C-alpha cells in the first residue's frame, strides 16, 4: 500500500516570538514530523551547527540556488537571505513525513501561493512590548538590528489574518499544546478525506 504523502506545516511569526522553542517541542512530542533545515547567508551564531540549525552559504551560492529553482521559498532581511531547499522537503513528504517550515512571514506567503495544501500557522506574542523584551533579552544582535526586527514585526502582525490558525505564545505549555492539537487534527482530516481544503478552519 502506498504511503500517504506528508504535509507542509508552516509555523511563522515575528522574530523573538518563540518559534524555535515550540517547533522543537512539536518534533519531540509528535511522531512522523521533521523540521526543514533552511539555507541562510547570515553569520553562524555561537552554538549553531551546520546542517542542523541551518545550511550556511554565501550570497552568490544562495542566488545560484534561487535561479536554479531549487529553493521552495526565500526571504531577505537585514542583509541576510533565508530559504527552504525544495528537494529535501519533497523527499520527506514522499516518505510520508510532515515537514515543518519555521520561516519568515514573507516566505510563508510564498508557500501559501505555491503550496495550496500547506497548513499555515501564525505564532503571535502576547503583546508587542513582550516581543521587544524577548528580542532585547536574547542579546545576540545590535540595537540597530533589533530596531529593524521590531519594525518588521509590527508590519508582520498585520498579516496574521492570512493564516489558517493564530496561536498566541503567552504560556509556552499552552501554546505547544494548541499547536500539537492543530497538527494532529489536520493530519486526521487529511487521512479521512485524502486531501485538505485550503480554507481557514480557525
pLDDT over 80 at 111, yes or no: yes
Q: In this structure, is residue 83 part of a structural domain?
A: yes
| Interval 53-66 mean pLDDT | 95
Q: Quick check: is 199 in a domain? A: no
Q: By CB neighbour count within 10 A (0-12 exposed, 13-18 middle, 19+ buried), where does 18 fall?
A: middle
Answer yes or no: is pLDDT of 1 > 70: no
In a domain, residue 1? The reply is no
Question: pLDDT by residue (tens digit) across 70-94?
Answer: 999 998 877 899 999 999 899 999 9
Residue 3 falls within a domain, yes or no?
Answer: no
In a domain, 153, yes or no: yes
Mean pLDDT of the region 104-128: 94
Q: Which domain holds residue 97?
A: 8-193
pLDDT tens, residue by residue, 136-176: 888 777 888 889 889 999 999 999 999 999 999 999 999 99
Within a domain: 178: yes
Average pLDDT for 56-61: 96
Residue pointed to by grid coordinates 546542517: 51
Comparing 34 with 2, the larger pLDDT belongs to: 34
| CATH number for 96 | 3.40.50.300
Give me the number of domains the chain comprises: 1
Q: Give CA–CA dist 109/134, Å, rounded.
A: 25
pTM of the model: 0.84
Tell me, yes or no, whether 201 lies in a domain.
Answer: no
Q: What is the dihedral of CA 141, 144, 149, 154, to 10 degrees?
A: 150
Amino acid at each position: 500500500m502506498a504511503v500517504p504523502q506528508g504535509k507542509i506545516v508552516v509555523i511563522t511569526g515575528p522574530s523573538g516570538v518563540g518559534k524555535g522553542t515550540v517547533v522543537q517541542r512539536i518534533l519531540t512530542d509528535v511522531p512522523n514530523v521533521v523540521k526543514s533545515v533552511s539555507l541562510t547567508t547570515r553569520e553562524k551564531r555561537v552554538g549553531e551547527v551546520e546542517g542542523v540549525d541551518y545550511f550556511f552559504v554565501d550570497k552568490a551560492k544562495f542566488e545560484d540556488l534561487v535561479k536554479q529553482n531549487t529553493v521552495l521559498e526565500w526571504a531577505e532581511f537585514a542583509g541576510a537571505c533565508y530559504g527552504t531547499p525544495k528537494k529535501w522537503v519533497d523527499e520527506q513528504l514522499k516518505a510520508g513525513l510532515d515537514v515543518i517550515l519555521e520561516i519568515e512571514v514573507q516566505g510563508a506567503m510564498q508557500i501559501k501561493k505555491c503550496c495550496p495544501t500547506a497548513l499555515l500557522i501564525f505564532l503571535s506574542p502576547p503583546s508587542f512590548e513582550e516581543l521587544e523584551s524577548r528580542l532585547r533579552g536574547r542579546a545576540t544582535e545590535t540595537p540597530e538590528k533589533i530596531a529593524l526586527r521590531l519594525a518588521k514585526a509590527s508590519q508582520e502582525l498585520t498579516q496574521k489574518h492570512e493564516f489558517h490558525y493564530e496561536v498566541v505564545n503567552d504560556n509556552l505549555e499552552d501554546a505547544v499544546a494548541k499547536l500539537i492539537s492543530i497538527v494532529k487534527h489536520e493530519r486526521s482530516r487529511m487521512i479521512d478525506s485524502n486531501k485538505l481544503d485550503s480554507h481557514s478552519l480557525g
